[in-house]
Amino acid sequence: MSTYFADDLMFIQPLIDEPGIKLYGQVMGIHKIPLNLALQACRRQHQNITIDLTRVDHLSRSALETLVGAARSLPPSVRLTLRARPELDLPGRLTAHGWHETQSLHLAEP
């Protein structure tokens, strides 16, 4: 399964220096399938996973929900880290939906 995907709005590529993926552009609900496929490929490594969102201009609510769902499905010893610029306001958005208490989900600044 490939961790690469591209369309007119978004591009996914694997991270080079750690398990995970980097997203570019506008991540929308229509990207749920390619996003889940890329995350499944990362999960096979049974390590912590990083999602680099530093080049994302827009992250829809449904796309964020997909990432939270992926974090919730991880084994207890594995965590999903979202690395994002402050403009995406992930702490506020996660809190607004009650997702901030997800044990396996962590936020990191670029």
**What DSSP letter does each residue of 40-88 carry, written as one string?**
HHHHTT-S-EEEEEEEEEEE-HHHHHHHHHHHHTS-TT--EEEE--GGG
What is the value of pTM for the model shown? 0.92
Q: 10: domain CATH number?
A: 3.30.750.24
In tens, the pLDDT along 71-94 reads 999 988 899 999 999 999 999 999
Residue 34 sits in which domain range?
5-108
The pLDDT, as a whole number, for residue 104 is 94
Rg of the chain taking only CA atoms, in angstroms:
13
Quick: pLDDT tens for 24-75. Answer: 999 999 999 999 999 988 887 768 999 999 999 999 999 999 999 999 999 8
Q: What is the pLDDT of residue 1?
A: 46
Name residue 45's amino acid: Q
Q: State the pLDDT confidence band at 2, using cuts at 50, 70 and 90.
A: low
Q: Would you say how long the chain is, in residues?
A: 110
Highest mean pLDDT among 15-19, 60-64, 99-103: 60-64
Total number of domains constituting the chain: 1
